[in-house]
Structure 1
Amino acid sequence: MSNSYNMKDFSSTAVITENGLYPSTISIDTINTKCKDRNLEESDYDLFQNRKLEHPNSDVRSFANLLKSSLGSGILAMPAAFKNAGSLVGVFGTIFLGYICTHCVYLLVKTSQDVSRVSKVPSLGYAETVEAVFATGPRPLRKFSKASRIFIDWAMALTILGACAVYVILLVDSVQQIVDFYSKDNEINNTMYCLMFLVPILIFTQIKNLKYIAPFSGFANILLVLTFLICIYYICDEFPDFDSKPTSVGIDRLPLFIGTVIFAMEGIGVVLPVENTMAKPQHFLGCPGVLNITMSIVVLLYMVMGILGYLKYGNDAAGSITLNLPTQEIPALMAKVFITLAIFFTYILQFYVPMEIVWRNIREKVTQRYHNHAQAVMRAIFAILTVAAAALFPRLEQVIGLEGAFFYSFLGLIAPSIIHLIFRWERGLGKFNYIIYKDIFLIVFGFFVLVTGVMQSIKEIIRTH
């Protein structure tokens, strides 16, 4: 995200950072002072009219930004997801998970808008929304408001860093395929490839100004589109029948399917920056709104890529479909080169976001004169950690499933449902208290995905080591 703060790459990062990564942190005292009469505050304050944007985005541009952030290299992992579900289960599972993810995004945005009205703040980021919800929620929870923001901040940073480790694995796999094809007798192992990538990664991650990084976004977008088209060409060449692959597989593999789909689809970190910068933010939610239209297209494209790739390659589907393409053919070789370059730029751009999050949480603990040195050391340490993680867990599809199950299930499913429930607790829970049952179902489902996905991913990692 990503998200996107997720695998939805560089474009999501550009959307977030060019408009400011976060609004200023809100103090609990300020919120509590403003919220003495909550009902009056909610009805009187028009947050949309109070948003002062120098360059607001139209509905079309917001749609394009959200679509770009949700469509990235994650779509190339969908065939690998389908092999853990089967063709029919994969199709309906993708639709179901797409609906769940979209609804949780809706809960996050709606809660952010509502708590903004309460606290009289024009817009809030993810972490600030969580802080404001706790600060204006039931009294026993208010003391946890600051801790909740810090927790979400670090969870977001670790989520993106985990995605960066996935990028390194894909980089290594793509380059290794090319090198092994042209030099079959080489003795370069996975760890050596990781060390080779560590040098350029350390250099480029020291860039602190986004304006020197963002121009690569457009180039990487073009490379991804070209890669996608080449993959479709190979998938549709001598395409097998629909019944050539099983419609379902063992239920024990389903958590890997869920984790991979959520990882690929979830862009929870991007939606608020997109909504916050719209000229008409009231068009983001609703039917048809920017969110529903975008996610409908995303789910359709992910489902099509998943089923087509699975029918073509079956259980041989790799963590990225580009790894299944025949290296000896020029178009396939170009796709592998394109995805390597695109993912490298993705890593650099995505890395910018968690470093901003981490730095804003630790900068006050560092003397002003050492800020530059501290940032350099911080960036180097986290870059090394992502490469080390890639060397330690080299199987791409397993790490994607683990990342999706552990991080994205929490940020994308559990946290939005929890804050929505907390916010609504003293403000009405709907007819027959349906909000309680719905949100608890989403929370339980999220924890189910988290626990079973992590356990199954760890089992797979142990089995293949």
Structure 2
Amino acid sequence: MTDTVISTPSPNGKTTSILTLNNCSSSTYLTSKTQLGDEYNPGDHRDQVKGQSSVGAFVHLLKGSLGFGILSMPMAFYNGGLLFSMIATLIVGFLCTHCVHILVKTSQEMCRNNRVPALSFAETTEKVFESGPKCLRSWSVFAKRFVDGGLMATYFAAACVYMVFIATSFHDVINYDTGLKWDVRIYIAFTVIPCLLIGQIRNLKWLVPFSAIANIFIAITFAIVLYYLFREPLVFSDKPLMARSEQLPLYFATAIFAMEGIGSVMPIENSMKKPQQFLGCPGVLNTAMIIVVIFYTAIGFLGYARFGSEVRGSITLNLLEGTPLADTAKLLIAVASLFAYGLVFYIPIDTLWKNISHKISEKNHNIAQILIRTGIILISGVVATVIPNLEPFISLVGAIFLSLLGFLVPSVCETVYLWPDRLGFWRWKLYKNILLSTFALCALVAGSVASINEIIKIYQ
């Protein structure tokens, strides 16, 4: 068995260091004291030497949540209004936390039932359907593929967002300082070149230094952003308490994109020596999410109060053009995003390769990987060129993919697992999950329509 420490980002720019356990089956973890009749505790069969402590998991979850996504929160507040967005951000944060909670709890129960130390997001979904009502068991493979496909689509779409953001940041700095009039699409074309090189990296160990440098750059950028937010008195009188009704779907889509990190939660939990401490009160999840929601609300509120209707997809793009400090922030966050691109791209391409590698001759694996990675990055560059505006792109990714993975799938998994006689008093958990699923579908439909309409306006 070999252990590897890696860093995994979520599609909104969050980077999380996790411990992966390679080349091992569940039987590797069984100890001599584990008998078939004993109650199985997944934590007893995880790596107790190199596994993450609760403090380590908390730090990773917190660090991974304060990335690129938080910089888009002022735009979310613009689409919601000051008061509405403050209340809604607290609600969305609570719902995100709850959905993560029920997903992790269901996964831990499935680990006990199947006597395995850990399960991924997709594996949890598969096992839930396999052990669920008979009429749903045949859907287990589809459920696993749906989650895998959703995660791949999320990260591939996030890769397009990264390209647009990197190119826009360089466009604003270089065009202003040099007097060039180049369109942002030219910068997107240039951005594709380093992405092609970084996207060919197949060993996560080689990407860890990029992630470390990116985290330093992000920390410096945050400090500069806070300086600009507080350098002058904030103005609240001209900001609506609630935005127009047609803008509200964009608020939810953007906020979900920023806060939802469902793809990185299970790797963090799977790496813990004591997974039971991930949940509970206060627990790793609750403590980290309280801090995250406070930060996101504060940055969104202050950023919108400072820049108002001029706020852009990332607050760094609103900083004064031509000033050394503002240019430094824009360039640092652009380079940090470029370094994180390799990690964002690795997750979906690794999942895709695992699903198709058996169909390709082993002697052609190397050239096949090169061609597939190159083709997908070029396609991403074309999509980013067609939609070179960051704001609706962020909203569209959040509306389509993260609404499904972050809210719909966890609520469905819990319902199937608890069906039919463990849904609580008067089956309140069933009705609660129906409401969560309805919220996810409404966010999907309304957010997608609003985002696509914005994209059509830009294209026209």
Normalised by the shorter chain, which TM-score bucket?
over 0.9
TM-score (structure 1 length as normaliser): 0.92
Q: CA deviation at 1:252?
A: 1.3
Q: Which is further off, 124-133 or 424-433?
A: 424-433
Give the percent of matched residue pairs that are identical in Structure 1 and Structure 2: 40
1:5 aligned residue: 10
2:382 aligned residue: 388
Whole-angstrom CA distance in 2 between matches of 1:364 and 1:396: 37
For the 8 Å contact 1:3–1:266, the answer to whether it is kept is no
Q: CA offsets, 1:406-450, max 9 Å, x none?
A: 000001000100111001104511111101100110001100000
Match of 2:349, SS state, is helix
Q: CA offsets, 1:354-393, max 9 Å, x none?
A: 1111111111111111111111111111111221111111
Is the aligned partner of 1:91 residue 2:92? no
TM-score (structure 2 length as normaliser): 0.93
Letter in 2 for 1:118: N
Map 1:411-430 onto structure 2 (within 5 A). 411-430=405-424
For the 8 Å contact 1:137–1:426, the answer to whether it is kept is no
Map 1:387-406 onto structure 2 (within 5 A). 387-406=381-400
Match of 2:58, SS state, is helix
Match of 1:417, SS state, is helix
1:373 aligned residue: 367
2:144 pairs, out of 143, 146, 149, with 149
Is the aligned partner of 1:50 residue 2:45? yes
Whole-angstrom CA distance in 1 between matches of 2:21 and 2:354: 13
1:117 pairs, out of 112, 120, 124, with 112
1:192 pairs, out of 186, 202, 207, with 186
Q: Which is further off, 52-61 or 98-107?
A: 52-61
Change (3 A) 1:136 1:41: farther
For the 8 Å contact 1:23–1:124, the answer to whether it is kept is no
Change (3 A) 1:312 1:120: same
Q: CA deviation at 1:21?
A: 8.5
Change (3 A) 1:72 1:43: farther
Q: CA deviation at 1:271?
A: 1.1
For the 8 Å contact 2:84–2:241, the answer to whether it is kept is yes
2:444 pairs, out of 419, 428, 450, with 450
Q: CA deviation at 1:41?
A: 8.7
Whole-angstrom CA distance in 2 between matches of 1:390 and 1:172: 10
Is the aligned partner of 1:308 residue 2:313? no
Q: CA deviation at 1:240?
A: 2.1
Change (3 A) 1:97 1:322: same
Is the aligned partner of 1:100 residue 2:100? no
Whole-angstrom CA distance in 2 between matches of 1:75 and 1:304: 10
For the 8 Å contact 1:3–1:268, the answer to whether it is kept is no
2:257 aligned residue: 263
Change (3 A) 1:22 1:255: farther
Change (3 A) 1:323 1:190: same
Match of 2:312, SS state, is coil
Q: Gapped runs of 5+ residues in structure 1?
A: 27-39
For the 8 Å contact 1:42–1:117, the answer to whether it is kept is no
2:171 pairs, out of 176, 193, 216, with 176
Whole-angstrom CA distance in 2 between matches of 1:344 and 1:199: 11
1:34 aligned residue: none
Is the aligned partner of 1:463 residue 2:457? yes
Q: CA deviation at 1:183?
A: 2.6
Letter in 1 for 2:452: I
Letter in 2 for 1:448: C
Q: CA offsets, 1:69-114, max 9 Å, x none?
A: 2110111101011000110111111000000000000011011011
For the 8 Å contact 1:429–1:436, the answer to whether it is kept is yes
1:207 aligned residue: 201
Change (3 A) 1:182 1:8: closer
Whole-angstrom CA distance in 1 between matches of 2:37 and 2:183: 60
Whole-angstrom CA distance in 1 between matches of 2:39 and 2:53: 26
Whole-angstrom CA distance in 2 between matches of 1:461 and 1:21: 42
Q: CA deviation at 1:52?
A: 3.3
Q: CA deviation at 1:327?
A: 2.0
1:274 aligned residue: 268
Q: Gapped runs of 5+ residues in structure 2?
A: 1-6, 28-34
Q: CA deviation at 1:24?
A: 6.6
- Aligned-residue RMSD, C-alpha: 2.0
2:246 pairs, out of 244, 252, 259, with 252
Number of aligned residue pairs: give it: 446
Whole-angstrom CA distance in 1 between matches of 2:431 and 2:38: 27
Q: CA deviation at 1:20?
A: 4.7
Letter in 1 for 2:100: V
